[in-house]
A and B are shown apart, each in its own frame.
Chain A
Amino acid sequence: MHKNDTRRSFNVTELTRVEGEGALDVIVEGDEIIELKFRIFESPRFFEALLRGRRFDEVTDITARICGICPVAYQTSSANAIEDALGIQVGEPIRDLRRMLYFGEWIESHGLHVYLLHAPDFLGYHGGVELAQDSPDLVKRGLRLKRVGNRLMEVIGGREIHPINPRVGGFWKAIAKRDLDEMVPDLEWALEAALATVDWVSGFSYPDLEPDYEFVALHDPDEYAIIGGRIRSNRGIDIPVHEWGDVFEEDHIEWSNALVARIKGRGSYHVGPLARFNLNFEQLHPLARASAERHGLTPPVLNPFKTIMVRSVEMVHAAATCLDLIGRYESLGAPYAEAPLRESVGYGASEAPRGLLYHRYALDEEGLVTDAQIVPPTSQNQLQIEADLRQLLSGILDLDDDTIQHQLEQSIRNYDPCISCATHFLTLNLERR
């Protein structure tokens, strides 16, 4: 009956179960989508501007505040960029500690998303708290997983939100081996719980949708890239991080307070767990790979709804890898590396829970920031989200409005968009007005 309505509109005025504030406007005429706008109306906070004039060693503390859900990602990408600018080399133990801290954030963030934000979509609940009324043990498992991630961030980073221990060059304080050893029982439990999570979410029923994505993620031949690597795609991109600007560009669209990124001359692309999984499957921890294969989850996985499975597999990877890393950890000698100041530009990237996070800083000879650029995952995915929505919508236009609305929202949640960070992008060309 809707079919013949001439004009329909769906307004999801306030997106829920995503971090930050976004909205979606769609106008359809007959079978034609006239307008589809994924709006981010999160208030701009002007991080790139306020970073100017700050000293290099304040940047990790400040950029953490861009996002309360993935502060470690911001701290890691910005530390990478500034270390690149100053020519600081960090040793293996510091890298290991960084990875463990970051895995803590993955477990926390994925645990939150899988159990409290995303799974309720598949099971027909408003949210995790509602789900807990019927399945308390399930939700408790999710909360405990999340807590293990948070605990890891607390032990290594000092606290779970905006950790205070990371800094340019490493950490303020070396973590004692015994403090990490105390995490082992928790992580062993988390590993089991993550494996059980993979089994659980594999039983969900997934809508058919297999868009033709260009996946972009960091790649490291020796590990499932998280704190660094080269930028790769399934369509041939393979560049060092500092060439990001040669291949990608940012644009400012009218309906959004976020800048959107695209591949020059090609358009939208997809970053996040799905991209990582498809590009770096070989580097997954054997236990994680096995758990995916057990459920027939092997690259290429194109169905965006299946990111919930991939997130669960990544939790297996995170817990298993942390156990390995703790096994070989020896307390750091010097907790951080230093280098003399110089006028320079540095580039850094890492894999935030939601995907590639790119930073670039220019420093003057006193170590003050003269220019900053931050490109978070959600802005890189924004065009792709709109593309997904168009594709999904054209196939379900004969459903009733409520169902359409729900499916559109769910499709956005596949990306776990963290909108609060999506509003801090800086165009590469500062001259554009």
Chain B
Amino acid sequence: MAKPSLAVWKFASCDGCQLSLLDLEDELLAVADGIDIAHFPEATTAHRGGPYDVSLVEGSITTPADLTRIQEIRAQSGMLVAIGACATTGGIQALRNLADIDEFVRVVYARPAYIQTLATSTAIADHVKVDLELAGCPINKYQLLEVVQALLVGRKPTLPTYSVCVECKERGTSCVMVADGVACLGPITRAGCGAICPAFARGCYGCFGPSESPNVDSLAAWWDELGVARPDLVRALRTFNVNAPQFKEASTRYAQE
């Protein structure tokens, strides 16, 4: 059986999610043994043309050129996996969706006319069919490995959609919200990171995006009781997954209150 071919693509992003592949130090060579890395510019100058069995797509759609490139990638890919918060919800750069893009350009660039950009930063699935999404800013490299392994044997990868709290309890961390009164987004955030923030004595700030059934209003009411000001809550929801529907909807309501 021929090895499945893999291509890695990048849109607006920090490169961290694709770096996760190279961060699999112990498994990288085995991965390279099992799959044919056909296009991965961050790692190799070798390049083989499509079609590809699997494409990993990092980053969000932010420029006019992106709009056509993502269509081309979709057309050459058997399975398209969107990796990371940028690719699955638009990432932190989707904060522009709430602002005036011209002003954003002016703030950063001396000659705005040189800059070609869209007014919004959007997820890959807003443009083409996505077969699988890996949440996280950044993704968890072991989830990426799980996807590769599952792919190779043809099973559904095990990717949790429940809340960070489950991982928090699994590792035996005491709840920072209950024990320390620290505002934590864990109860409405998707597991996957291993609940590292509470383990480091801070509240989760939501980098894996909304969990499968997030009750944002209930948590917001509790944050009120903890003394968190509403603008602070709004910003907490508007960070790495600002454009995720549940966070966007709730934060828009709170911002208007």
- A contact residues vs B (CB 8 Å cutoff): 14-21, 42-50, 52, 54-55, 58, 61-62, 65-69, 71, 112, 116-117, 126-130, 132, 136, 139-140, 143-144, 146-147, 150, 158-162, 164-165, 167, 171-173, 250-254, 257, 259, 335, 409, 418, 420-421, 424-427, 429-430, 432-433
- Is B159 in the interface zone, CB < 8 Å from A? no
Interface centre among A46, A49, A126, A136 (most CB of B within 10 A): A46
Q: Which residue of B lies closest to A140 (CB)?
A: B29
- Is B16 in the interface zone, CB < 8 Å from A? yes
Given contacts A65-B240, A68-B19, A132-B29, contact A427 B110 (CB under 8 A): yes
- Chain B nearest CB from A215 CB (Å) reads 27
Report whether B22 and A116 are in contact in the complex, using a CB–CB cutoff of 8 Å: yes
CB-defined contacts of B155 to chain A, threshold 8 Å = none
- Is B32 in the interface zone, CB < 8 Å from A? yes
Interface string of B46-60 (1 = CB under 8 A from A): 110000000000010
CA distance A433 to B239 in the complex (A): 29
Interface CB pairs A-B, < 8 A, 28:
A14-B41, A15-B41, A17-B42, A18-B42, A43-B66, A44-B108, A44-B109, A45-B92, A45-B93, A46-B107, A49-B107, A50-B99, A52-B107, A68-B17, A68-B138, A71-B14, A116-B22, A129-B28, A129-B29, A129-B44, A132-B29, A136-B29, A144-B25, A159-B193, A164-B197, A173-B201, A259-B110, A433-B112
Given contacts A49-B99, A150-B23, contact A252 B114 (CB under 8 A): yes
CB-defined contacts of A128 to chain B, threshold 8 Å = 43-44
CA distance A42 to B37 in the complex (A): 23
- Is B96 in the interface zone, CB < 8 Å from A? yes
Q: Which residue of A lies closest to B139 (CB)?
A: A161
Interface centre among B41, B96, B121 (most CB of A within 10 A): B41
Report whether B108 and A16 are in contact in the complex, using a CB–CB cutoff of 8 Å: no
CB-defined contacts of A58 to chain B, threshold 8 Å = 235, 239
Given contacts A49-B104, A158-B200, A259-B110, contact A143 B42 (CB under 8 A): no
- Give the contact stretch, choosing among B5-13, B146-154, B161-169, B214-222: B5-13
- Is B26 in the interface zone, CB < 8 Å from A? yes
Our pick among B42, B108, B193 for the contact of A426 (Cβ within 8 Å) is B108
Report whether A164 and B111 are in contact in the complex, using a CB–CB cutoff of 8 Å: no
Given contacts A54-B235, A164-B200, contact A19 B15 (CB under 8 A): yes
Chain B residues 107-145 with CB under 8 Å of chain A are 107-112, 114-115, 117, 121, 137-138
What 19 new A-B contacts, CB under 8 Å, besides A49-B104, A173-B201? A15-B41, A16-B44, A17-B45, A20-B15, A45-B62, A45-B91, A45-B121, A47-B108, A54-B235, A65-B137, A112-B22, A129-B32, A129-B44, A139-B29, A160-B23, A164-B196, A257-B114, A426-B108, A432-B110
Report whether B13 and A254 are in contact in the complex, using a CB–CB cutoff of 8 Å: no
- Is B77 in the interface zone, CB < 8 Å from A? no
Our pick among B15, B117, B137 for the contact of A44 (Cβ within 8 Å) is B117
CA distance A71 to B117 in the complex (A): 25
CB-defined contacts of B25 to chain A, threshold 8 Å = 143-144, 146-147, 150
Our pick among B43, B205, B235 for the contact of A116 (Cβ within 8 Å) is B43
Report whether B41 and A69 are in contact in the complex, using a CB–CB cutoff of 8 Å: no
CA distance A349 to B199 in the complex (A): 29
Report whether A69 and B15 are in contact in the complex, using a CB–CB cutoff of 8 Å: yes
Interface string of B80-98 (1 = CB under 8 A from A): 0000000000011101100
CB-defined contacts of A146 to chain B, threshold 8 Å = 22-23, 25
Given contacts A45-B93, A126-B44, contact A158 B13 (CB under 8 A): no
Report whether A173 and B200 are in contact in the complex, using a CB–CB cutoff of 8 Å: yes
Given contacts A68-B14, A143-B25, A144-B25, contact A46 B43 (CB under 8 A): no
Report whether A68 and B15 are in contact in the complex, using a CB–CB cutoff of 8 Å: yes
- Chain B nearest CB from A39 CB (Å) reads 11
CA distance A162 to B208 in the complex (A): 13
Report whether B16 and A162 are in contact in the complex, using a CB–CB cutoff of 8 Å: yes
- Is B76 in the interface zone, CB < 8 Å from A? no
Given contacts A65-B137, A257-B115, contact A172 B46 (CB under 8 A): no
CB-defined contacts of B42 to chain A, threshold 8 Å = 16-19
10 shortest A-B CB distances, which residue pairs?
Answer: A68-B16, A127-B44, A126-B46, A43-B12, A252-B110, A147-B25, A49-B107, A143-B25, A49-B104, A68-B14
- Is B202 in the interface zone, CB < 8 Å from A? yes
CA distance A426 to B117 in the complex (A): 17
CB-defined contacts of B99 to chain A, threshold 8 Å = 49-50
Report whether A66 and B14 are in contact in the complex, using a CB–CB cutoff of 8 Å: yes
- Is B175 in the interface zone, CB < 8 Å from A? no
- Chain A nearest CB from B137 CB (Å) reads 7
Our pick among B105, B117, B199 for the contact of A158 (Cβ within 8 Å) is B199
Q: Which residue of A lies closest to B236 (CB)?
A: A58
Q: Which residue of B lies closest to A20 (CB)?
A: B15
Interface centre among B43, B47, B59, B110 (most CB of A within 10 A): B110
CA distance A164 to B240 in the complex (A): 14
Q: Which residue of A lies closest to B37 (CB)?
A: A129
CB-defined contacts of B207 to chain A, threshold 8 Å = 162
Q: Which residue of B lies closest to A42 (CB)?
A: B12
- Is B103 in the interface zone, CB < 8 Å from A? yes
CA distance A418 to B232 in the complex (A): 33
CA distance A121 to B3 in the complex (A): 27
CB-defined contacts of B196 to chain A, threshold 8 Å = 158-159, 164
Report whether B138 and A161 are in contact in the complex, using a CB–CB cutoff of 8 Å: yes
Interface centre among B22, B91, B115 (most CB of A within 10 A): B22
CA distance A259 to B114 in the complex (A): 11
- Is B106 in the interface zone, CB < 8 Å from A? yes
Given contacts A68-B14, A150-B23, contact A130 B46 (CB under 8 A): yes
- Chain B nearest CB from A353 CB (Å) reads 13
Given contacts A45-B12, A69-B19, A257-B115, contact A158 B110 (CB under 8 A): no
Report whether A43 and B11 are in contact in the complex, using a CB–CB cutoff of 8 Å: yes
CA distance A69 to B23 in the complex (A): 10
CB-defined contacts of A127 to chain B, threshold 8 Å = 43-46
Report whether B15 and A67 are in contact in the complex, using a CB–CB cutoff of 8 Å: yes
